[in-house]
Chain A
Amino acid sequence: MTALVTLFQVLTLANLVLLTGLAYVWGRNYADMRSKHTLGLLLFALFLLGENGMAAYFFLVDPQLSGWISNAQQVPPPAQLAMAALRVAQFGGLAFLTWVTWD
């Protein structure tokens, strides 16, 4: 079941890319406008960047954790499926948000 783990890892990196784009747009708008609305959007992007950054570290870099999630003996497939499903859902949300924001 390493495909699910790979999907999880790839989407974690994709989310980092999308969130960097969102933080860039909202950061620039905040610098221009200084409104609480753009600050809210910028902070939203920064917190989710932190979340995905931690996920990337835990499950791609840290030798113990990244070795552990790809081992079906230690993380059974249903749990890997659940982890991957969370990333898929987040990626879907961020992809649409980036699409409307980049406009």
Chain B
Amino acid sequence: MEASLWYVLTGTRGGKNRVRILRALDERPRNANRLAEALDLDYKTVRHHLDVLADNNIVRDSGDDYGAVYLVTDAARTHWDTIETIMEEV
């Protein structure tokens, strides 16, 4: 997971915003709408980043209803020191 964390968060065009989303979700789980407001990002952009993060098993949504709350996965928690290192740099 280590390598994909580095690539998804620091090797791609949208990496910086994905780090911001992850930081916000670490603070407390929220849905895409709240994230868009908190980070001053477009709703569709946030949705896309959440899909990428979920695809890489870094975040997951808490349910299958519309407007579901997103949270950090256990897998990402076990590599939290790596994520913290990346966050310090962004």
Contact = CB atoms under 8 A, between A and B. Distances in A.
Interface of A: 25-26, 29, 32-35, 37-38, 41, 100-103
Contact of A37 (B10, B14, B90): B10
B83 interface: no
A32 B86 contact: no
A32 B89 CA distance: 8
* Interface SS majority for chain B: helix
Contacts, number: 37
A43 B75 CA distance: 31
Interface size class of B (residues with CB under 8 A): 10 to 19
Among A33, A38, A102, the one with the most B-chain Cβ atoms within 10 Å of its Cβ is A33
A35 B13 contact: no
Interface in B43-90: 52, 86, 89-90
